[in-house]
Structure 1
Amino acid sequence: MKKLYLLAVLAVGFVSCDYILKDRDDSNGEVRTDTVVAVGNDKDAQGCVTSAGYRWSDLKRECVRVYDVGYRLNSIDELEEDGSMYSAFVLFEDEGDRAELFLPDGSKSIMLKREGKDKPYVNNRWQLTPGKGYRLSKSGTVLYAGAPTVEKLVTGSDNPEN
């Protein structure tokens, strides 16, 4: 008998919660079904869907996923501390001397320009230096590095076994 009573109370609870949580038209109590939920409706000012990883690129003049098309630069501090990884990304102009820098905490990209081949890309305090991989410095301090450079900066050697 107690089980039957408990079952009846639970059934009434479920039915009442269902009734309370539905969106109803106030005039006649009917459930409204005209509500449309837009998925991926978090576009930025340029129309890029940020929840899907898209950011506006001034260099490419379109929405891009920088982690798909950009060159990854890993944070030197986080590599040394073995912490969580935040990467910067760089997009390069196909036939030119410009690069676009995307920082992990920045909402707007930074345009970099170089004076010639094998010269660093610069913008005020930022400098992207080519070599075996790229190194990104701010005011002379290396903050991010690309693949081959990372091993040397962390271990002090080009040999990954050291």
Structure 2
Amino acid sequence: MKVGKICLLFFMSASILLAGCGNAKNKKGEDNLVGNDKDDHGCIASAGYTWSEVRKDCIRLWEQGVRMESVADKANTAFIVFAPDSLQVELFFSNDQPNEILDRRSLPVGGYAWNVEDDDTKNVRQENGKWTISQRGNLIYQQADEDK
């Protein structure tokens, strides 16, 4: 009789656990399947893809961008992604800042910098072989060492 109660308790526990193994649903009531998380542009975030406005394509930042580290806090990173013609650069930040798109400008001393016209809020340029992002003259991000 005792064995019967143990078996009954085991089967009841197993059925409760198995009942919770159904497919999870997303907000639209669809099954949450791997790769079923496309955004408005068709980019699959679970596969590492995000939309790049300057590339007009879904990209993986670590494949297409240049990884930058914050000078103040190495935990904060950014990626810079260049348009195919290099006339624009898109900035992707890790700390929930919105992306920014900067335009290429010729420097009086030669070379280029990317910024917003008549606004020196952020500047992207290459200095001593490394990409940098500065804000109002202060260095805020520099190219991560492994991406030299």
Same fold (TM over 0.5): yes
Give runs of aligned pairs for residues 44-55 of structure 1, distance below 5 A: 44-55=39-50
8 Å Cα contact 1:72-1:88 kept in structure 2: yes
Give the structure with higher Rg (CA).
Answer: 1
Letter matched to residue 101 of structure 1: L
8 Å Cα contact 1:99-1:111 kept in structure 2: yes
Cα RMSD after superposing both structures: 2.9
Ranges in structure 1 where 5+ consecutive residues have no aligned partner: 24-31, 80-84, 149-162
User: Which residue does 1:133 correspond to in 2?
Assistant: 130
Give runs of aligned pairs for residues 100-111 of structure 1, distance below 5 A: 100-106=90-96, 108-111=98-101
Measured in 2, the distance between the counterparts of 1:45 and 1:66 equals 18
1:119 aligns with 2:107: no
Structure 1 SS opposite 2:101: strand
Pick which of 14-23 and 43-52 moved more. Answer: 14-23
> If the length of structure 1 is used for normalisation, what is the TM-score?
0.65
Alpha carbons of 1:45 and 1:17: their partners in 2 closer, same or farther (altered >3 Å)?
Answer: same
Number of equivalent positions: 130
8 Å Cα contact 2:55-2:82 kept in structure 1: no
Alpha carbons of 1:108 and 1:78: their partners in 2 closer, same or farther (altered >3 Å)?
Answer: closer
User: Which residue does 2:28 correspond to in 1?
Assistant: none
Give, in angstroms, the shift of residue 92 of structure 1.
1.3
- Percent sequence identity over aligned pairs: 26
1:99 aligns with 2:89: yes
Measured in 1, the distance between the counterparts of 2:98 and 2:6 equals 53
8 Å Cα contact 2:55-2:84 kept in structure 1: no
Alpha carbons of 1:65 and 1:107: their partners in 2 closer, same or farther (altered >3 Å)?
Answer: farther
8 Å Cα contact 1:57-1:109 kept in structure 2: no
Give, in angstroms, the shift of residue 21 of structure 1.
4.4
Alpha carbons of 1:19 and 1:96: their partners in 2 closer, same or farther (altered >3 Å)?
Answer: closer
Structure 1 SS opposite 2:105: coil
Measured against aligned partners, the alpha-carbon deviations of 1:66-91 in whole angstroms (never above 9, x if no partner) come to 11111111111224xxxxx3321111
> If the length of structure 2 is used for normalisation, what is the TM-score?
0.71
More strand by share: 2
Give, in angstroms, the shift of residue 8 of structure 1.
5.0
* Runs of 4+ off more than 6 Å: none
Measured in 2, the distance between the counterparts of 1:41 and 1:10 equals 42
Ranges in structure 2 where 5+ consecutive residues have no aligned partner: 26-30
8 Å Cα contact 2:68-2:79 kept in structure 1: yes
Alpha carbons of 1:40 and 1:108: their partners in 2 closer, same or farther (altered >3 Å)?
Answer: farther
Measured in 1, the distance between the counterparts of 2:139 and 2:132 equals 7
Give, in angstroms, the shift of residue 118 of structure 1.
1.5
